[in-house]
Amino acid sequence: MFFLGIDIGSSATKLVVIDENRNMIGRSVIQLGTGTSGVENAVSNLYASHDFHPEDIMGSVVTGYGRKQFGSADTEISEISCHAKGVSFLTPSIRTIIDIGGQDTKVIRIDGKGKIQDFTMNDKCAAGTGRFISVMSKVLDIDIADMGSIDKEATEIISISNTCAVFAESEVISKLSSGCSIPNIVAGIHQSVARRVAGLAYRNGIEPDLALTGGVAQNTGMVRALEQELNARLIIPCDPQLTGALGAALYALENY
Ligand SMILES: Nc1ncnc2c1ncn2[C@@H]1O[C@H](COP(=O)(O)OP(=O)(O)OP(=O)(O)O)[C@@H](O)[C@H]1O
Ligand SMILES: [Mg+2]
């Protein structure tokens, strides 16, 4: 018996399949979000690369920004609940989850059983989200997956003073033309996002242990910058982009 969790985010579609013993036996990540062919691609990728079939799935839950548009799952559950479920299953000691996605950033506090205490969300502006990093990486012509390794080469942090992504884009171009090194600018971009995220986290209140999830948690430069701003250690789950889909799959099993 298998259970499917589907997380349709604004930037990426994530699928996780677990068995009845809660082992993750299948996964698929497509860097296309809601309103695109992301879901179809992720589903066909899942069945093509694993040894199970649609008829083996006994239950499914959909979550994420695009969940209301997806009619083929048994149930839909909010992202906040699914992230809390997935993270507390992987690391029960976590009390604060910071999820940096492509469009919004969420800070969620949970108790020892994974129950939500409170949460805060930044969803109105690209500053402090993965979108800010994506826009800047395009200006610098750097693959998003290389931002972390380039950050490691920085010798100083060139602060970006504009928080608005549109103004910050011009600022980055002007720093480039005045001869600042790309790694130092990249470190400044990560610092800018980290400051916004830390502000949100402090407003909500943080309690250790802290986890960082979402696609942006794969960026080691962002982890460095956020640990610096929070003056705290962050625990990164082994598949940080998949925790919402994992939580959805766990709910599908429980519902069954
Ligand atoms: N290998 C990688 N290294 C660094 N960043 C990455 C990597 N892969 C994806 N990202 C970034 O992760 C973000 C997408 O993460 P995620 O899938 O958690 O977002 P989402 O769930 O679609 O968005 P939201 O939760 O805001 O609706 C994008 O900004 C993308 O640039
Ligand atoms: Mg998300």
Task: Name the strand (E) or helix (H) holding 188.
Answer: helix 182-204
What distance in angstroms lies between residue 36's CA and the mean position of ligand 1's atoms? 15
DSSP annotation of 16 reads E
pLDDT tens for residues 108-142? 999 988 999 999 998 778 889 999 999 999 999 99
| pLDDT score of 186 more than 80 | yes
**CA 174 remoteness from chain centre:** 30
pLDDT of residue 134: 96
Q: Are residues 127 and 183 in the same domain?
A: yes
Q: Which among 241, 242, 243, 246 is the best mutation to test ligand 1's pocket, defined by most ligand atoms within 8 Å of the CB?
A: 241
The structure's pTM equals 0.96
Q: Are residues 43 and 81 in the same domain?
A: yes
Is ligand 1 within 6 A of the CB of residue 65?
yes
Q: Are residues 169 and 47 in the same domain?
A: no
CATH number at residue 57: 3.30.420.40
pLDDT of residue 35: 87
Rounded Cα–Cα distance for residues 187 and 62 (Å): 35
**CA-based R_g, the chain, Å:** 18
Share of the chain above pLDDT 90, in %: 88
Confidence of residue 34 (pLDDT cuts 50, 70, 90): confident
Q: Are residues 141 and 219 in the same domain?
A: yes
Provide the number of structural domains found in the chain. 2
Q: Are residues 69 and 168 in the same domain?
A: no
pLDDT tens for residues 135-173? 999 999 999 999 999 999 999 999 999 989 999 999 999
pLDDT tens for residues 75-106? 999 999 999 999 999 999 999 999 999 999 99
Domain that holds residue 107: 94-236
Rounded Cα–Cα distance for residues 91 and 88 (Å): 5
pLDDT of residue 124: 77
Q: Which among 68, 216, 236, 238 is the best mutation to test ligand 1's pocket, defined by most ligand atoms within 8 Å of the CB?
A: 216
Q: Are residues 34 and 58 in the same domain?
A: yes
Q: In 3D, which of 15, 54, 16, 59 has the Cα closest to residue 253? A: 59
Residues across the chain: 256
pLDDT of residue 7: 97
Helix axes 130-139, 182-204, angle to 10 degrees: 170
| pLDDT score of 220 more than 90 | yes
Q: Are residues 104 and 194 in the same domain?
A: yes
Mean pLDDT confidence for 200-205: 92
DSSP annotation of 206 reads -
Q: Are residues 71 and 137 in the same domain?
A: no
Lookup: tokens for 226? 């956020």
Is ligand 1 within 6 A of the CB of residue 180?
no
Q: Are residues 141 and 175 in the same domain?
A: yes
What percent helix, strand, coil does the chain show, rounded to 5?
45, 20, 35
Q: Are residues 79 and 104 in the same domain?
A: no
Q: Are residues 34 and 153 in the same domain?
A: no
Alpha-carbon torsion (135, 169, 221, 194), positive or negative = negative
pLDDT tens for residues 6-17? 999 999 999 999
Which residues make Cβ contacts (< 8 Å) with residue 44, sequence separation at least 6? none
